[in-house]
Structure 1
């Protein structure tokens, strides 16, 4: 896990730890949350794990409703209206 409080900087529009995002998993819409971890190193090792089930997802996102989800780049949009969040 990241030792840094947040990689998101004021005005930054990158998908980084601390960024406010919208998670798109349901066809009905998206759910807001905050990126809390980037598993880029693990997500690149898909073929090296010796299994093809339970794939590693790149991002851990704490949703505003209290759930923790793991998603890939294609399931996230930066929240254009929100300021970057502080991760505790």
Structure 2
């Protein structure tokens, strides 16, 4: 019997997860803050889906400016400006 691959989402260590406030830093634009709205971990492994040429970014982030961006874990840090504040 063929061995099945486990495609369940990998838990993210630390404060990252849906609802978390983050700072998004990407080389193509200035750093911006927002909130993680979705985790696409189960789609980041191209596996047999044949989309290695267009990799899926793990996190969907709603930026405070109203834009939705997709980012990798390396692009995100917990937003330090929200520590101790309500919201």
Residue correspondences, number? 73
Task: Return 33-42 or 20-29, whichever deviates more.
Answer: 20-29
Shift in CA distance, 46/34, structure 1 to aligned 2, threshold 3 Å: same
Segments of 4+ moved more than 3 angstroms = 26-29, 83-86
TM-score by length of 2: 0.71
- 1:49 corresponds to which residue? 49
Which has the higher Rg, Structure 1 or Structure 2?
2
In structure 1, the gaps of 5 or more residues are 1-12
Per the alignment, residue 5 of structure 2 pairs with none
> What CA RMSD, in Å, does the superposition of the two structures yield over aligned residues?
2.3
Structure number with greater CO (CA < 8 Å, separation at least 6) is 1
Q: Which runs of 5+ in 2 are unaligned?
A: 1-13
